[in-house]
């Protein structure tokens, strides 16, 4: 039965709220991970995997979705895709947590500004999606900005590039696997869970374990890493089914913008001229990209 105009507007309003919640939480993530700066980055990553797996597994059973997990094991291709997604998101989380605690929040925000462009490039290369002049102009502008930063600093902004590439590849793998968010995240963290648990046991035996040894606050924040990881993803999933992708795509820039503001205003990272020029080129690329995507979508019958 088709939706009425009132139902459609109500769904879009809810979708916007879920989208803002998801991207807002992601944008404020530096505050959370920075508060764990006394814990080694790899331990934070291992705890994030461990508690995210525990949280999503409990939620899966509570919602009666265990059968969806079982279905994946009947498909070799989907199982391999899930393992690949787990590896990619673990690498992405590890780089992000390390970068935040190494006072590189501005570069992480650049990475997530770049992400839509990398995703579109993968769509062209892998899914044979058509590349138009708007996309070409976007890539030229972003590439010029990154080249300016590379020449000025004598190095590529590898944190930004690696975050953009790993998250874009993660999105591509998930698209090909066609799993719902909860099932996907449960299996992705399950794939990395044995390694995370083994690493934490070794750290604990070596006397370097943070959990329970660095105060109640750190222990609580590590344990809450599971829901902190899962809830924004679930909010995003709830939003994307209620909103057109074009509108959800615009909301995603809330996240890197908040990260940028947190880096500059809260942690006093320097937004120097070179970084400002690079960011300006990337934002210009995104404006061109967004405008041309919107024109193409409205031009379709």
Across 52-56, 133-137, 146-150, 289-293, least confident range: 289-293
Look at residue 25 and give its three-state secondary structure: helix
Q: For the chain, what is the mean pLDDT? A: 83
Mean pLDDT, residues 50-77: 87
Can you read off the two tokens belonging to residue 50? 């461990």
- Would you state the pLDDT for residue 244? 63
Neighbour tally for 242: CB within 10 Å: 19
Name the token pair of 99.
């970068």
With a cut of 90, say whether residue 220 has pLDDT above it: yes
Between 12 and 78, residue with greater pLDDT: 78
> What is the model's pLDDT at position 100?
92
Output b/e per residue, 264-276; b: 16+ Cβ within 10 A.
eeeeebeeeeebe
For 17, 18, 187, the CA distances from 232, given in Å and listed in that order, are 12, 9, 17
Closest to 81 (Cα-Cα) out of 165, 164, 175: 175
Q: Are 96 and 108 in contact (CB under 8 A)?
A: yes
Tokens at 94, concatenated: 């590890």
What is the average pLDDT across 130-137? 74
pLDDT (tens digit per residue) in 227-280: 998 898 888 877 766 766 556 666 777 888 888 889 888 998 888 888 788 888
Residue 197: pLDDT band with limits 50, 70, 90: very high
Which residue, 180, 27, 38, is CA-closest to 96? 27
Q: For residue 301, is pLDDT > 50?
A: no
Let me know: does 116 contact 289? Beta carbons within 8 Å.
yes
* Mean pLDDT in residue range 175-185: 79
């Amino acid at each position: 039965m088709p939706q009425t105009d009132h139902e459609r507007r109500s769904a879009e309003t809810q979708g916007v709220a879920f989208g803002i919640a998801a991207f807002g939480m992601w944008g404020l993530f530096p505050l959370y991970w920075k508060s764990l700066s006394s814990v080694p980055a790899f331990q934070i990553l291992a705890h994030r995997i461990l508690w995210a797996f525990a949280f999503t597994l409990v939620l899966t059973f509570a919602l009666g979705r265990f059968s969806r997990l079982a279905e994946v094991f009947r498909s070799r291709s989907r199982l391999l895709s899930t393992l690949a997604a787990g590896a990619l998101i673990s690498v992405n989380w590890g780089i992000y947590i390390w970068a935040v605690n190494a006072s590189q929040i501005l570069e992480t925000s650049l990475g997530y500004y770049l992400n839509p462009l990398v995703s579109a490039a993968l769509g062209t290369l892998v899914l044979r999606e058509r590349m138009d002049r708007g996309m070409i102009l976007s890539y030229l502008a972003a590439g010029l900005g990154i080249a300016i930063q590379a020449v000025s600093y004598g190095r590529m902004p590898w944190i930004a590039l690696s975050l953009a590439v790993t998250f874009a590849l993660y999105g591509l793998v998930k698209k090909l696997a066609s799993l719902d968010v909860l099932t996907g995240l449960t299996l992705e963290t399950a794939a990395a869970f044995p390694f995370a648990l083994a690493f934490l046991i070794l750290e604990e035996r070596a006397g370097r374990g943070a959990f329970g040894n660095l105060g109640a606050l750190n222990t609580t924040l590590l344990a809450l890493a599971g829901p902190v990881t899962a809830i924004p993803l679930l909010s995003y999933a709830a939003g994307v089914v209620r909103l057109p992708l074009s509108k959800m795509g615009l909301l995603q820039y809330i996240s890197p913008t908040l990260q940028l503001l947190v880096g500059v205003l809260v942690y006093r990272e320097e937004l120097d001229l070179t970084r400002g020029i690079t960011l300006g080129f990337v934002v210009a690329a995104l404006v061109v990209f967004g405008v041309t995507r919107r024109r193409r979508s409205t031009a379709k019958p």
